[in-house]
């Protein structure tokens, strides 16, 4: 993958409206470093939430390239400007992977492996909506860093 940014997902997205939004932002981000997406397999629930989180977390960590940013409700709240600064710092080190967890969220090992853990909202977002918010915020951050007017 030649993209500077990668979004990691647990399970294939299913929502058409979300895919349309992601496709639009992917085109916009192409000029600003590019973004790719990789889906890792969900773990079948067999009565143990921690086992599911652990297996999915291992897949996410193996799929990550460069700096890992874990998107999690336990993460830090960032302003647009501070998210842009984080993106700028990490992209200077190399590729950046943003991980959206599965239905049960991220395991502690994935959060520990991450360069940063960020919360997209204080509200609970389903995974499809979190994905759209991430792409929009990544485009907004890159626009801000490049001096483009979108971020206003």
- Using alpha carbons only, give the angle 118, 72, 51 rounded to the nearest 5 degrees: 145
- Please determine, for residue 146, whether its predicted confidence score (pLDDT) is greater than 60: yes
Q: What is the mean pLDDT of the chain?
A: 94
pLDDT at 40: 98
Contact by Cβ (8 Å): 137, 28:
no
pLDDT at 148: 87
The pLDDT tens digits of the residues spanning 89-107 come to 999 999 999 999 999 999 9
Of 57-61, 72-76, 146-150, highest mean pLDDT: 57-61
Contact by Cβ (8 Å): 95, 67:
yes
pLDDT at 100: 97
Contact by Cβ (8 Å): 90, 67:
yes
Radius of gyration in angstroms for the set of CA atoms belonging to the chain, rounded to a whole number: 15
> What are the structure tokens assigned to 102, written together?
């599965």
- Please determine, for residue 1, whether its predicted confidence score (pLDDT) is greater than 50: no
Mean pLDDT throughout 35-58?
97
pTM: 0.94
- d(Cα 35, Cα 24) in Å, to the nearest integer? 12
């Amino acid at each position: 993958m030649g993209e500077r940014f990668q979004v990691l997902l647990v399970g294939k997205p299913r929502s058409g409206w979300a895919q349309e939004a992601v496709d639009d932002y992917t085109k916009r981000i192409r000029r600003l470093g590019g973004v790719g997406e990789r889906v890792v397999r969900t773990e079948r629930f067999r009565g143990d939430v921690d086992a599911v989180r652990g297996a999915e977390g291992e897949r996410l960590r193996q799929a990550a390239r460069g700096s890992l940013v874990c998107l999690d409700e336990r993460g830090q709240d960032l302003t647009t400007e501070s998210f842009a600064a984080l993106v700028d710092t990490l992209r200077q080190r190399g590729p950046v992977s943003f991980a959206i967890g599965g239905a049960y969220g991220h395991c502690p090992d994935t959060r520990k492996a991450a360069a940063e853990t960020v919360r997209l909202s204080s509200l609970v977002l389903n995974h499809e909506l979190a994905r759209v918010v991430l792409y929009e915020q990544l485009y907004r951050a890159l626009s801000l860093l490049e001096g483009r007017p979108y971020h206003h």
